Amino acid sequence: MSASPTITTRAGAVAAARTDYAQAGGLKADVRGLHFHYGQRHALKNVNLPVPEKTVTALIGPSGCGKSTLLRCFNRMHDLYPGNRYGGQIILQPSGVNILSPAVDPMEMRLRTGMVFQKPNPFPKSIFENVAYGLRLRFVRDRKTLAEEVEKALNAAAIWDEVKDRLHQSAFKLSGGQQQRLCVARALATNPEILLLDEPTSALDPIATSKIEDMIFALKDSVTILIVTHNMEQAARVADFTAFMYLGELIEYGATSQIFQNPKNQLTEKYLTGSFG
Amino acid sequence: MQALTDVNRLIALRKWQDRAFIAVGAGCTALGVLALAALLIKLAVDGLPFISYRFLTSRPSELFPDSAGILTPIIGTLAVVVVTFFAAVPLGVATAVYLEEYARKNWLTDLIEINISNLAGVPSITFGLLGYWFFCTLLGLKPVVFVGGLTLAILVLPIIIVTTREALRTIPSSIREAAYAAGATKWQVIRYHLLPYSLGGILTGTIIALSRAIGETAPLIALGAGGFVPDPPPGPLSSRFPFINFAWLQKPFMALPTLMFNWTDNPNVMFRQKAAAIGLVLIVLTLSLNAVAIVIRYRIRKRIKW
Amino acid sequence: MSEASPKFVRLRPRSFGDAARRAWRERREAAVKWLFFAAAFSSILITLGIVCFLFSESIPFFRNVSLREFLTATEWSPRDEDHPRFGILTLAAATFTTTAIALAVAIPIGTVVALYLSEFAPHLVRESLKPALELLSAVPTVVYGYFAIQFVAPILRWFRPELPDYSMLSAGLVMGIMIIPYISSLSEDAMRSVPMLLREGSYALGANRVITALRVVVPSAFSGIGAAYILGISRAIGETMIVAVAAGNQSLFTFNPLNAAQTITAYIAQASKGDTAHGGIAYQSRFAAGLMLFLMTIAFNLIGYWLRRRYHKAN
């Protein structure tokens, strides 16, 4: 994938996104025939979703459509709770392995991905230790390496300047928006292959939201991003590709510009024009 | 990121850590349960041979260990617990109702709450000293049944207050609001709605409190009621009108735990062995009361779905 | 609820007798409220009573014994006719030693049990083991005393034959067993109320249960766990029967657990038995000891209360 270096506005970049994902230079992940059951409830029904590499893919849809459920399949978070059942496959590239297979340990997927949650959830530690948490988990102990990686991550999360003088203060002293960016830095510090964002700005004010969206735009070229958002305008602002879901099914998928300007499915059009949701 | 083999080793190490901690955790928990089992078994082995109908119905004696029984302390404990019940439950429930339904958030309420929390942590022997000072020194009474009962009532009061408050708190405010909306006064809401619904929780707390009162020794000793009393207080029923007499309240008494304490230290070996028998009776009483309370709590939680 | 009756405009005509009924009802409501308040206030009276008697009954004692001797002497022999000594440190040393032994048992085991039940154990295991452990705190303490001298001490003597019949070690160990549920139950409640969102953040980074429990849950539940520890300390300091039965009644200033020694509480129990002369200074000394005990436990109780308030606010 070759991003045009002259594109400076987000809107322009989205407009220039490829409509054919096959041209995007390869997939990072491929969801094939995914089903998911919460106990008896059939929450995801036959979802087929390509996730192109180093792009932003947005999952939109009304409440309860299964977008968060789908997102949490990528790092096997559902394994934490009893009674959940996967069906189908999510193939991770370039290894070609189905990450939903029982032979794959959930911890392995969590080591390869990073997740940011709806509400900021910093640990009761200092800002530095929050970001270093993932690195320490991977036995990175050298102080210099840690300091470098923490700085890199905080920079990528666009919060370095605000915290560089108080790295050893408690993370709880930050504002909500800053805490969320800290959580992004924490997820980025381990160089994840996929960054999973679960409605990351729904608890934030517009200024903080805007900062995070700028950050996503800047990150796009270095990591594959999957973002769930209940705010369809946000998808229009940041995503290259958008998937619309409804009641557990993937209704339509395509380049963002195509979905928003020319939806092929009537349900998609009704959602985008505000008939429901 | 690391090479693939590193990730596998990392995961294997983490899983091993989990398994090791589960082993340690389950082991420690098992240790606790084992200690309880050892205690029960030891007391059963030592005490069971001495438990018989005769043992439970004859009076104890200071001189003759073979014929000594525990009728006196059984009745003594029963009498004291009855007094404790009638003193602690109304007072405790009333306090809890006040704190939950009437009290406003001011310094006085805070003071009351700190007090109750503090009383819950005061060593039990201190209550015995309080009882001695108030009833014996100040009021000139002897350590008789109702003095002992009131002293133990003060001891178990915080238990009843806390459990009643919890029971009242689990009643959703919609019930209160519906009653008020129908025009009920505060007292009517409490009497006809809140108290009936919290009865289960109050019962649980009362059982736990009484079980505690049965097992307490130190306050009775400090009160001066730890001495040897050969005869139990007379019964409450009398043959003449009004058929209930209260003489038993003013008689000295001996309780099961204090007799066990006396016999445990006794130079005579048979008294020491019979101490185990009392211990067994005590354990059976307190543990079964606690088990009943746990079962009631469980059934309430299952049955009531707000 | 409003206290006074506001002046409403009547929407329909009142019936005769309405006013009398309402007035009676309002008087009844006020009476009920004051009754309940009196009940609640009685708890303050009880505490006042305790403070009152502890100080008033100790005054005659302190008229005869200097505060300096009380707080610094290391011998406690109130019944010695010629040379009575009243150094509370003697009893306090035994209280300290038995408490330390008890906590050395209860805090590690209690915390590990709490972690296991909260973070690792499957639901069924937790629901059946938790009440079983709570039964440990329901056993009457005099029975624990018997258990200490008849079961625990002989086992300890198998390892250390020089252990006397009564020792602070056997009493402390059994006291520790009794305190385990105090620590495990409260700590577990504190850990369970840490929100799942925090744990998910840790798991999503690739952590296992142990690391999440130790590095995320425990720091978050810290005040609650601290309050549990304080409660355990307070309980150990105030325990009477286990030490009265199993630690012996020797008045000795020592920190050696292999010795028999008398704690503050055991002394009060002994001094309350009939064989001490009423009104004598030996009899009064139990109030001085009680005062010391009360001050120690109230300090810990207040710290624990403050910790619990902080932890509730943080959640």
* Half-sphere exposure of residue B213: CA atoms within 13 angstroms, side-chain side: 33
DSSP state of C139: S
- CA–CA separation, A86 and A92 (whole Å): 16
Tokens of B239: 């043959």
Residue A38 has pLDDT above 80, yes or no: yes
pLDDT at A1: 37
Number of inter-chain CB pairs under 8 A, B vs C: 268
- Cite the beta strand spans of B37-101 per DSSP E: none
Fold of B51-303: MetI-like fold (1.10.3720)
Contacts of A194 in chain B (CB under 8 A): none
CA-based nearest distance B11→chain A, Å: 7
- Show me where the domains of chain C are located: 16-64, 76-314
* Portion 17-56 of A in contact with C at CB < 8 A: none
Judged by DSSP in three states, C65 sits in coil
CA-based nearest distance C204→chain A, Å: 5
Tokens of A19: 């409509």
pLDDT at C87: 83
Stronger pLDDT, A18 or C204, i.e. the higher one: C204
CB contact under 8 A, A191 and B7: no
* Residue in the structure block whose two tokens are 């039964």: C135
pLDDT at A118: 93
Task: Give burial (CB, 10 Å; 0-12/13-18/19+) of A42.
Answer: middle
Contact of A183 with chain C, judged by CB distance below 8 Å, is answered with yes
Q: Mean pLDDT, chain A, as a whole number?
A: 87
pLDDT at C77: 79
Contact of C206 with chain A, judged by CB distance below 8 Å, is answered with yes
φ, ψ for residue C36, nearest 5 deg: -65, -40
Mean pLDDT of C90-108: 94
pLDDT tens digits along C206-237:
999 999 999 999 999 998 899 899 999 999 99
pLDDT at A119: 93
Stronger pLDDT, B80 or C71, i.e. the higher one: B80
pLDDT at C219: 94
DSSP state of C77: E
Mean pLDDT of B124-142: 90
Region of poorest pLDDT, from B299-303, C127-131, C254-258? B299-303
CB contact under 8 A, B2 and A138: yes
Closest to B11 (Cβ–Cβ): which among A107, A190, A191? A107
- CA–CA separation, C132 and B291 (whole Å): 9
Closest to C211 (Cβ–Cβ): which among A110, A113, A137? A137
pLDDT at C153: 92
CA-based nearest distance C311→chain A, Å: 13
Residue A25 has pLDDT above 90, yes or no: no
Mean pLDDT of B8-32: 93
* Half-sphere exposure of residue B139: CA atoms within 13 angstroms, side-chain side: 10
DSSP state of C193: T
- CA–CA separation, B54 and A165 (whole Å): 81
pLDDT at C13: 60
CB contact under 8 A, A125 and C219: yes
- Show me where the domains of chain B are located: 1-49, 51-303
Residue A22 has pLDDT above 60, yes or no: no
* Half-sphere exposure of residue A270: CA atoms within 13 angstroms, side-chain side: 10
Residue A21 has pLDDT above 60, yes or no: no
What residue of B is the nearest CA neighbor of C41? B112
Tokens of B70: 């525990």
- CA–CA separation, B118 and B100 (whole Å): 18
pLDDT at C313: 67
For residue B253, give the nearest of B234, B236, B235, B232 by alpha carbon: B232
Tokens of B245: 């007499």
When pLDDT is cut at 50, 70 and 90, the band that residue C59 belongs to is confident
pLDDT at A4: 37
CB contact under 8 A, B2 and A191: no
Q: Mean pLDDT, chain C, as a whole number?
A: 87
SS (H, E, C) chain A: CCCCCCCCCHHHHHHCCCCCHHHHCCEEEEEEEEEEEECCEEEEEEEEEEEECCCEEEEECCCCCCHHHHHHHCCCHHHHCCCEEEEEEEEECCCCEECCCCCCCHHHHHHHEEEECCCCCCCCCEHHHHHHHHHHHCCCCCHHHHHHHHHHHHHHCCCHHHHCCCCCCEHHHCCHHHHHHHHHHHHHCCCCCEEEEECCCCCCCHHHHHHHHHHHHHHCCCCEEEEECCCHHHHHHHCCEEEEEECCEEEEEEEHHHHHHCCCCHHHHHHHCCCCC
Judged by DSSP in three states, C86 sits in strand
Contacts of C203 in chain A (CB under 8 A): 77, 80, 110
Tokens of B117: 């929390």
CB contact under 8 A, A107 and B14: yes
Residue A16 has pLDDT above 60, yes or no: no
- CA–CA separation, A27 and B212 (whole Å): 68
What residues of A are in the B interface, CB distance below 8 Å? Answer: 105, 107-108, 111-112, 138-139, 190-191
Q: Mean pLDDT, chain B, as a whole number?
A: 88
- CA–CA separation, C252 and A6 (whole Å): 87
Residue A18 has pLDDT above 60, yes or no: no
Mean pLDDT of B224-243: 78
- CA–CA separation, C243 and C250 (whole Å): 11
φ, ψ for residue C251, nearest 5 deg: -85, 100
CA-based nearest distance C84→chain B, Å: 22
Task: Give burial (CB, 10 Å; 0-12/13-18/19+) of C310.
Answer: middle
Q: What is each CA distance from B215 to A106, A238, B138, C179, in whole angstroms?
A: 51, 69, 27, 16
Identify the bridge partners of residue B288 per DSSP, sorted by sequence position: none
Residue A67 has pLDDT above 90, yes or no: yes
Closest to A105 (Cβ–Cβ): which among B1, B2, B11? B11
pLDDT at B4: 47
pLDDT tens digits along A123-175:
999 999 999 999 999 988 899 999 999 999 999 888 999 999 999 999 999 99
Contacts of A107 in chain C (CB under 8 A): 206, 208
Interface test with C, best of B77, B98, B154, B295 (most C CBs within 10 A): B98
pLDDT tens digits along A217-256:
888 888 999 999 988 889 999 999 999 999 999 999 999 9
User: What CATH number does the domain located at C76-314 have?
Assistant: 1.10.3720.10
pLDDT tens digits along A77-111:
999 998 899 999 999 888 888 999 999 999 999 99
Residue C275 has pLDDT above 80, yes or no: no
CB contact under 8 A, B10 and A139: yes
CA-angle at C8, arms to C5 and C12, nearest 5°: 125
Structure ipTM? 0.90
CB contact under 8 A, C49 and B15: no
Contact of B276 with chain C, judged by CB distance below 8 Å, is answered with yes
Contacts of C200 in chain A (CB under 8 A): 77, 80, 115, 117, 121
Contact of A134 with chain C, judged by CB distance below 8 Å, is answered with yes
